[in-house]
Amino acid sequence: MFGEIIKTLRLSYNLSQVQLAAELNVSKQTVSNWENNNILPSIEMLIKISHFFCVSTDYLLDLDHRHYIEVSGLTDEQLAHIQQIIKDICRDKIRQDNP
């Protein structure tokens, strides 16, 4: 559950356990324990992790499976470009799923 989610996020950001630990100011052993579901982070750390990966705490706790992209600070033109890229990717996926 949490361990798989945090590991998937870490790998998607191409980070080692050591690198993630440094970013969150914890030990590598702590990250390893999270990934192996030996311990859970504190609420404060859960919030810090959610901010670092730009996901909700509900996502980290496997309560919400939606994905979000942080777009604060982008212009309307930049947002329009991102929306078009997402639409193109979705169309490609539909074509791949329905040959």
* Extents of the domains making up the chain: 2-60, 71-99
Average pLDDT, the chain: 91
- Model pLDDT for residues 5-50, shown as the tens digit of each residue: 999 999 999 999 999 999 999 999 999 999 999 999 999 999 999 9
CA distance 75 to 46: 30
The predicted pLDDT at position 72 comes to: 87
Which pTM does this prediction carry? 0.71
Tokens encoding 62:
């496997």
Spell out the residues 6+ positions from residue 95 whose beta carbon is closer than 8 angstroms to its own.
none
* Model confidence at 57: pLDDT above 80: yes
The CATH class for the domain spanning 2-60 reads: mainly alpha
